[in-house]
Amino acid sequence: MTVSLTVSNTTVVGPEASDTLAAGGSGIDFGQVYNGGYSPLDVQEQNSGALDIWVSHDAEIDPITSVKIYAAPYAGNYGGANSAAADFTTLLAYGASDIGASKNNTDGLSQGLHLDMDWKVSPSNQFDYSREAGGNKRIIGKDYAGFDGSDIGKSFKLHADAASYWNGVSEVDAIAPIAATIGKFNDDQLGNRGHFKARFYLNKDATEGGLLQNSLVIAYSFTA
């Protein structure tokens, strides 16, 4: 049987992401980003604001495994300022050139798409650069020992800290999470959600304007 994913940016039990994008497509809209900031942004001084993404699936017998995240040129009806290929090149270049050191971009040197794969990280610690050492934080286009999120072969494994369990009432931590694995609907050990956070940063001297569109791909393996 086919196993399908649901990727939501609203709630732990939300529907497939369906923000209206340029040129009539649908997906996730990060909103407007200002130089020296990030999006979504709440109070920059408090490091608040993040786009939560929940990943679930409909397998009834086994978990899904080899869950990985990477970027690709936008696959829909492109509505950006350049081209899908140019936007992808820009995205990777942002990550490769990121020299920031402050989680809320107070130094103005952060840029690109940042992922924090610990669903329960505190607002004060989310996206901190120190979290790269444990694999919780990753930046698309930045090289981590040969993995930069630029294609399936260089994709980032979903961190074990992204595993959560929706028990029908609340979202709680998975009891025995395993990296790159999301359990079936009733699996409180592995969890039945992959939950990570995302932000798009722009450095203080950025000159690239207009819309930027890319695809964020979640790959996985299944047996039933």
Residues of the domain holding 130: 5-221
3-16: average pLDDT: 97
Give the pLDDT confidence score for residue 207 in this predicted structure. Answer: 87
117-128: average pLDDT: 98
User: pLDDT tens across 67-77, in order?
Assistant: 999 999 999 99
Closest C-alpha among 75, 86, 29 to residue 215: 75
- Structure tokens that stand for 81 in this block: 């300022």
178-205: average pLDDT: 98
Give the pLDDT confidence score for residue 39 in this predicted structure. Answer: 97
Phi first, then psi, for residue 33 (nearest 5°) are -120, 130
Query: What residues have CB less than 8 Å from 215, skipping those under 6 apart?
Result: 71, 72, 73, 74, 75, 76
Number of domains in the chain: 1
28-48: average pLDDT: 96
User: pLDDT tens across 54-92, in order?
Assistant: 999 999 999 999 999 999 999 999 998 899 999 999 999
User: pLDDT tens across 156-180, in order?
Assistant: 999 999 999 999 999 999 999 999 9
**Span between the terminal Cα atoms of the chain, in Å:** 6
